Chains A and B, each alone.
Chain A
Amino acid sequence: MQIDLAHYHRWEGRLRGPWYSALAVTRATLRQVFRRKVFWILLALGMLNFLLYFALIYAGTQLPGVGDRIMERFDFTVHPDAQRRNGYLRFMEQQGLVVMVMMAFAGSVIIGGDFRQRGVSFYLAHGLSPWHYLWGKWLAVAVLLGSVTVLPALVLFVEYGMFTSDFHYWWENKAVVVSVLGYGLVMAVVLGAVLLALGAWLRKTVPIAITWTSLFLLSAAWSEQLRRTTGDPHWRLLNLWRDIRCVGRAFFGFYARREDVQLAPWAAGALAAVVLICVGYLWAKLVHWRRWE
């Protein structure tokens, strides 16, 4: 120990604000997540589908004659067509499964451990308010989610333009970028809020994974059963994952079913309510977190 090093003086440099400090929370959280092999495996699984689509676009653009048939065979279209299909939307929805599994395992690492091991003390005593802490954690979820959905979808978009040497494609279809980002944002906001709330509440991996899976699978089963029994399509709003897809599809400008046009605003309302409840819970938990110990 070198006690003569101990002293204090005012910091003469420029300290960055707490919103910037929250980025350190994001970095540290992601580092924690990717220290575990299971997330690399899940990421690799997510990338398998991406590689398939990547190869599909490559074959579709580089193999004249055969390419179109391959694209058709896999029902992939880079331009929204008369049947209102969109390859990027299709890709992002298929990635949903990996997202669900990844999030189920990530909750404990991202936020559960902070409450289980009382690490929240460190954050809240370091120039961060609960909002900054939540912002940092949410960003980590968003990055994780974006890395298997938004980012690969944008890479596919860039790839198509490059392999066709049709750079106008990017400009003419710039709405695709907005749509992909919009869908990604809806997923990140809703899934992020739910995951953080569940993680803060249940803390450990197994309970979080079970509850997370049940939340989405059971809500889908219940909503479908209730809709069939009553004939009222509004029961579909109970299906959280469907609500996300319904609102996400709005960014692409079309819906899976005609009834979704009417249900979309309700779905957006349902998602907003879920997010508000989760954020409210997280806020109360952080402000009064010692009460829950």
Chain B
Amino acid sequence: MGSVTEPFPISRIAGRYLLFDIDVISYARRTHNTCGVLIGTLPNLSQQNVFLGIPLELMPEEARVLIERGHAYIVDDEETHRKGFLQMSREDRLAYLQYMDELGLEASMESKRKLEERAAKALKGKDLSSSLKQKHAGPAPSEATSNGDEESLFDSSEPGVQPKASQSNLIPHFITPATSYPPLSHPPVDRGLPLPEVPRSYPLFRYMHSKGYFSTPGLRFGCHYTIYPGDPLRFHSHFLATGLDWDEEFDLLDVIGGGRLGTGVKKSYLLGGEDPTADAVTEQSDNGASVEVRPVRTFSIEWAGM
């Protein structure tokens, strides 16, 4: 796992906040209880929706909390890429192509090594390795041919003939990298970019985040956030949260509906809002960033079922 230096960049593309670097994704999850939503297709596993991959879409709330606390900064990825690739110099391009060739050759060697490993394992499993090795001294390995197992036949004979695959006759694979760094260098921190625009449920989100809770979008349960006591990889969620304004009037039926639904799925319904009349407190982060917050009150609602 690579190391991440703070503040890390968050890509802004068409008004959405995305992470492409796996190290940053893992880091944000471990260190800043920010899990976002994976929206990408996993290569080679592109016919299912259960496990998804990079990129990770951050809620504007998540991006804003990370930026307010000085852990991250926004990068305008459209501008960066327009400059970086559409106006790329010849030297940069050739250097990049050569770099990709090197990576491709590595990948090619790696896949060859894996193929050999697998073949050796398969042979071992069938207890054929010893008999095949003996056969190599003789003419054709007729026994293996009769097995009809083409893969093991091919792979077992080749390393026998050429003990080490020479690099020169390997065709480098082509690689689509996940991020654009390299060839682009990380853009400098630009404080001029506006903070992500957040809905009015943001105070509740920030409050729960500051208490160490993990949040995911609440669409599936018809609320603003589904709130987890720990990493959603390991824990069930506890709350279906809806953030409201302090004096906002809302339908009593929402409480009934939320309360019943929440109880039905072993969670409780959470309402919360920020008190605008209270004095703002300045919260200081470890890295010197400070943010003014007002107290938030929360109420948990459960279907009593008496």
A, B in one complex: no
Residues of A within 8 A of B (CB): none
Residues of B within 8 A of A (CB): none
